[in-house]
Amino acid sequence: MKLLIEPHYLGCLEYFCLLRNSKEVVFEIHENFQKQTYRNRTYILGSNKVLSLNIPLSYSNRTIIKDVKVDYTQRWVKDHWGAIYSSYGKAPFFEFFAQEFKKIWEQRNEYLLDINMKFLSLCFKLLDWKVEIDFTDTYQKDAEIENVDFRNDIHPKIDFSDRNIYHPIAYSQLFGNSFAANLSIIDLIMCEGPRADEILSASSMEIRD
């Protein structure tokens, strides 16, 4: 499947189930940026509740995705890393992978797209996935016929159960009495390490072209 989708920030498991089923991914980078989406937010499991981590941005209503800049006047880098450390510092695979994630935050990339793609590349490496990646040259409302268009389908305000992409398979998490589904990929990687791909495979529903 050739997938057309927007780049997410440390995407949720539903997002990665979709990526897993795709041999080639084309990222939409010429669409006008939309707020309150997974483009600049992710969800992790804290000791008391699910936490939302949001990257503050600098953009206008007509700024396309590739030109959206990150706002470093706010201390979000320290806050995000602090939340990750508090949530996963005692996770089984934190000591193996934490520094690779931390390095990306510390690079203080100017553009949101660069941050998202660097985290995505790291996750592909840790999952041992080989996915062909490309980017849109222009914005087209209707996708070309060979692409399967999932732009804006995975949205934090619409529950994953409304889509036929992700079927939660529970794995060991550090907090809570019940399983918290569809968190950031970093939750699965820190908790399950090499088993992350196996769990994503079991969680993936078949996507038809």
Give me the tens of pLDDT residue by residue for the chain, a chain 209 residues long.
789 999 999 999 999 999 998 989 999 999 999 999 999 999 999 999 999 999 999 999 899 999 999 999 999 999 999 999 999 999 999 999 999 999 999 999 999 999 999 999 999 999 999 999 999 999 998 876 567 999 999 999 999 999 999 999 999 999 999 999 999 999 999 999 999 999 999 999 865 44
Provide the pLDDT for residue 1. Answer: 75
CA distance 46 to 64: 32
> Which pTM value belongs to this model?
0.94
List phi, psi (to 5°) of 67. Answer: -105, 5
Q: Is 13 helix (H, G, I), strand (E, B) or coil?
A: helix
Provide the pLDDT for residue 145. Answer: 53
**50-54 and 41-45 beta bridge pairing:** antiparallel
Domain residue spans of the chain: 2-203
Q: Please give the sequence-ordered ranges of beta strands (E in DSSP) within 123-174, or none if there are none.
A: 132-135, 148-149
Neighbour tally for 209: CB within 10 Å: 7
Provide the pLDDT for residue 143. Answer: 73
